[in-house]
Amino acid sequence: MTGAVGDISNSNIDEPDASKEDFFSKAYLVKGNSYKYDVTRFIYVGSDFVEPSWFGYVAVATDEGKRVLGQRDIMVAWRGTSATREWLNDFNCIIQRSASDLSPTTKQHDATVHYGFHNLYAGTRPGSAHSKTNS
């Protein structure tokens, strides 16, 4: 089901090629699949280096899916690098000390994170229509 992110990405990656309601049917993940989910949110990212774009989704098991799984499952899936501008950001292979926005215990564990990932995770584009819904 995480592969659906790539299946539903369009060529300009700004928006998915499906709505929340028909996301899994357009990704051909409904027929014969007993694990039923509803997409509750799309995830957008943007930073100083990368224009805001659709990056993934959050889905929650439906009541029917909960019966099959035995629990209320929450799935978060995001796509990999796809646009040239993202590849250029990836080549910036600086590893930095992780900030507390990833976890309050990062200093305690001396955690590090790839600069490009952190830049997307924590970045924002104030002029973007998705600035309130990005990661």
The structure tokens listed for 109 are 């564990």
Instruction: Evaluate if pTM is beyond 0.85.
Output: no
pLDDT score for 50: 66
Strand 53-61 vs strand 37-45: parallel, antiparallel, or unpaired? antiparallel
Residue type at 2? T
Q: Return per-residue pLDDT of the chain as tens, 135 residues.
A: 666 666 666 655 577 878 888 888 877 677 777 778 899 998 887 766 667 777 888 999 999 989 998 998 898 888 777 777 777 767 767 776 666 655 666 566 666 777 777 777 676 666 666 655 544
Residue of 51, 54, 47, 4 lying closest to 24 (CA atoms): 4
- One-letter-per-residue 3-state SS of 35-95: CCEEEEEEEEECCCCCCCEEEEEEEEECHHHHHHHCCCCEEEEECCCCCHHHHHHHCCCCE
